[in-house]
Chain A
Amino acid sequence: MRFKVIQKILGLLLALFSLTLIPPLVMSITMDDGIEYAFVSAIFVTLLLGLFLWLPVRKFKGELKLRDGFLVVVLFWLVLSFSGAIPFIVVDNPKMTLIDAVFESMSGLTTTGATVLTGLEELPVSLLFYRQLLQWLGGMGIIVLAVAVLPMLGIGGMQLYRAETPGPMKDAKLTPRITETAKMLWYIYLALTVFCTIGFYVSGMSFFDAICHSFSTVAIGGFSTHDQSIGYFNSWQIEAVTIVFMFLAGVNFSLHFLAWRSKSLKHYFEDSEFLMYLALLLSVFLICFLGLMLNNVLSGEIVTSLRASLFQAISMGTTAGFSTEDFQAWPAFLPVILILLSFAGGCAGSTGGGIKVVRCLLLYKQGVREIRRLIHPNAILNIKMGNKAVSNRVIEAVWGFFAAYVAVFLILMLALMVTGLDQTTAFSAVAACLNNLGPGLGAVSENYGNISATAKSLLCLAMLLGRLEIFTLLVILTPSFWKT
């Protein structure tokens, strides 16, 4: 463990992050909403802390090892969640406790979209903007951003990048240099955001709302500037734009990259993960639609039901967590299906959460392989993605991930029930946080304000575990990680 390198990079990252607080500060000053002090103090604290860490070791030279990368990423996310909470703690309106502030900040950065706040329309606009910005930064990954703009990270960039990006196969780079790859990802991300903003603006949102919602849509976060989320606008155009961009942001960004470079869409339809993603979302959409029609919800209106079920299926399936309808009140099996769908989540290498579609696909194929093995004991059976065989090493990793995911889920759910929550609430809250989804059922269907502080801290842990795909966090909790 080389603490000096870790300290240096951590300091650098914090100083960098303090810069991202400037836009909301500028906004606060121009809109004159009276909370400049919150952002000024946050910038001050974060920058000082960063410099304090960086200055003593700035001359130190050394490369980051694979192991150090995990520690940097976890520490950075932890420190960031706390420093990101500073504006929430400092402001007078709304008055928030420490744990509420951290929960909100963590929920933003991990793109979960669970909130403890109500009466959003009454809040200072710069604070609303700040929440959306947190989601946007967390979506593509603030470390990926750092890798893109800080070339001095060098080789260490790859270690950090690997520890933060989601998916089972992390060695595939889009370009030979990791800095270029990170830049490409951010360009695509930026382009999606710009198009999304234009889409929202054209469909009738105010410019402010358009920017804010494009941040949380492309990041697959789910924060909104209104209590009723996207439902507030009650406009099919806005819903359509949201659906399209949630869907696009849930696709592996390397596919966008390939499509952009080869100027053709064929890569999408040659990718088995994409096809599975499409199939999953469409089938849950159909189930929801039939469920709504058969139970005569929404007075059995075909168009309204189609619209609501499509929006909700995509929103929950990609783990964004926007809502247009009070879906918690739908016939009991529908909310549960939607929550379960969020376990599959987005594709690997996207901004979506969950286990990731590709892992589910591999697990399914592994199951099929076991059955075929029983019939043909001597056969050599491969698991294939597209036309390429997937190595057993990857399958093992996926199994390990799945087991850890289930175990973490169960432990956290039981722990929440210990704090006094009922089973529905505990189940949905853990699922919503671990999958970076957002809305839950039962006591947390409106917001997370009413549960105990212990429960909130457990859910913060769940969000971080989900965002860093469990192993990055688990590995630093093992004793052997700290042994030399």
Chain B
Amino acid sequence: MAANLCSEPNDITVVDLNPTTLHHLQDRYDLRTVVGHAAHPDVLLKAGAQDADMIIAITNSDEINMVACQVAYTLFQTPTKIARIRENQYQKRKELFDAASFPIDVIISPEQEVTDYIKNLIEFPGSIQVVDFANGKVQLVAARAFYGGPLVGHRLAELPEQLNDVETRVTAIFRRNDVIIPTGDTVIEAGDDVFFIAAQKNIRAVMSEFRKIDGPNRNVIIAGGGNIGLRLAKALEDTCNIKIIESNSARAHKISESFKRAFVLLGDAADEDLLREENIENTDVFCALTNADEANIISSMLAKRLGAKTVMALINRAAYVDLVQRDIIDIAISPQQATIGSLLAHVRRGDVVKVHSLRGGAAEAMEAIAHGNARQSKVVGRKIDDLKLPPGVVIGAIVRKEKVIVVHHDTLIVEDDHVILVVTDKRHVSDVEKLFQVNLTSS
């Protein structure tokens, strides 16, 4: 987490109980560390809480995070307080987190975000990343083009003819490691990763232009009944047939009590016989979500070999992701990339509502609000074509008062529009921020 924040212009102090971990961090990144309990006032003082703009409490304990925010607020008047809250029962009671009780401005729940991330992937077969904007009204979807898709080998300009009435905009194409900013003349090739923006109901139709899509994913096997596995199973259990493989007997018994339909298998996810017995060859999605990267990789490789249609693995180490993505495992899920977005949105300048990290952090998708009038702002009152966008930045859609508008070159941006854009090269993020800042002096 700190590493990601550090790569942007922020001054960071990390507090942890374990000196060794901190030592490693300090060696590798440009930040300060303080050893101690994260909620103790003295420790926070030492970490510079007095002039901190923001406290991010992401220890493993919800209660420590809540108290840390409380302490920072009461003793140091820290303006922005972000805490990781895992427990659903806390999350449901929003009234707990107002200034009068636990003064927490933003609640993040990494497990929930990873779960939503995977859930989206399973709901849209064939996608390799699906991210939500404007509370799910509009989505940015990445799909890999394959032979057999009607548009593969054709110019993008033909897309509207094929999809009558469906509004969509292709915002970026990644061909091997190059970025192509799409124009009407761009020809889609097999193997391209195509990023497009569409409303939820149209995703399937658009995706079918780039590849053959199968029916909805029905049979899902989840390896690992940890926090994420459990949440994912609960989220999907009404629509899919879920089996969870868990190797710890006590944990397996515990989670089995919380399901209505899904059921728990006690065993090793890399056990060939177990997988065969549970019809791995008819499984639509195999998700390896244990804590061990290696086990996830091996079990999903095995599942793929035994006939699972799509395999996904949760992989923490970035190096492993590059090793296996594409050829060996269909989708490698990096929890850091899936969750960093919600934090980034709060450290960005300008009114940025949502940030999603794309392609392992190399690119980024953003939802920013255009404020001010035509004189104060660089975007309001201008057509898309007239904007001075940094290179590699594409605007995909605008959400104007609950309405989704897929942009064309002549769409006009008005005040309070939510602009959804893709930054294909992360170096230009700060230029985009500047673009959306309101310049009060020029009024």
Q: Show the binding face of A for B, using Cβ within 8 Å.
A: 372, 376-382, 384, 387-389
Contacts and interface: CB of A to CB of B under 8 A. Distances in A.
Contacts of A387: 260
B223 interface: no
A362 B243 CA distance: 24
A37 B278 CA distance: 77
B190 interface: no
B262 to A, nearest CB: 10
Contacts of B253: 380
A378 B260 contact: no
Contacts of A384: 257
B266 A378 contact: yes
Interface string B255-286: 01100100111110000001001100000000
B260 A380 contact: no
A378 B274 contact: yes
B64 interface: no
Given A376-B263, A377-B277, A384-B257, 13 more contacts: A372-B263, A378-B274, A378-B278, A379-B263, A380-B252, A380-B253, A380-B256, A380-B264, A380-B265, A381-B263, A382-B256, A382-B257, A389-B257
Nearest first, the 6 closest Cβ-Cβ pairs linking A and B are A389-B257, A380-B256, A378-B265, A380-B264, A378-B267, A379-B263
A186 B263 CA distance: 42
17 contacts: A376-B263, A376-B278, A378-B265, A378-B266, A378-B267, A379-B263, A379-B264, A379-B265, A379-B266, A380-B265, A381-B256, A381-B263, A382-B257, A384-B257, A387-B260, A388-B257, A389-B256
Interface in B115-171: none
B265 A376 contact: yes
A384 B263 CA distance: 13
B442 to A, nearest CB: 60
A382 B259 CA distance: 9
Contacts of B243: 379
Nearest to A387: B260
Contacts of B263: 372, 376, 379-381
B334 to A, nearest CB: 30
A222 to B, nearest CB: 40
Interface in B236-266: 243, 252-253, 256-257, 260, 263-266
A38 to B, nearest CB: 58
A376 B287 CA distance: 19
A378 B278 CA distance: 9
B278 A380 contact: no
**Secondary structure dominating the interface of B:** mixed
Contacts of A376: 263, 265, 277-278
Contacts of B252: 380
A418 B267 CA distance: 55
Contacts of B257: 382, 384, 388-389
Contacts of B278: 376, 378
A384 B265 CA distance: 17
B242 to A, nearest CB: 12
Contacts of A380: 252-253, 256, 263-266
Contacts of A381: 256, 263
A377 B274 CA distance: 9
Contacts of A379: 243, 263-266
Contacts of B264: 379-380
A379 B243 CA distance: 9
Contacts of B265: 376, 378-380
Nearest to B274: A378
A388 B256 CA distance: 11
A382 B266 CA distance: 13
Nearest to B256: A380
A479 B123 CA distance: 63
Contacts of B267: 378
Nearest to B246: A380
A380 to B, nearest CB: 4
A380 B251 CA distance: 11
Most buried by B among A372, A380, A381, A389: A380
A394 to B, nearest CB: 14
Nearest to B253: A380
B52 to A, nearest CB: 44
B385 to A, nearest CB: 56
Nearest to A390: B257
A376 B267 CA distance: 12
A388 B257 CA distance: 7
A102 to B, nearest CB: 48
Contacts of B260: 387
A382 B256 CA distance: 7
B45 to A, nearest CB: 46
A380 B266 CA distance: 7
Interface hub of B257, B265, B274 (most chain A Cβ within 10 A): B257
B346 to A, nearest CB: 36
A366 to B, nearest CB: 16
A141 to B, nearest CB: 33
A377, A379, A387, A389, most chain B CB atoms within 10 A: A379
Nearest to B245: A378
Nearest to A377: B277
A387 B243 CA distance: 18
A427 B264 CA distance: 44
A379 B253 CA distance: 10
Contacts of A378: 265-267, 274, 277-278
A388 B260 CA distance: 10
Interface in B263-319: 263-267, 274, 277-278
Contacts of A377: 277
A380 B249 CA distance: 9
Contacts of B274: 378
A363 to B, nearest CB: 20
A372 B277 CA distance: 13
B407 to A, nearest CB: 46
B299 to A, nearest CB: 15
A389 B274 CA distance: 25
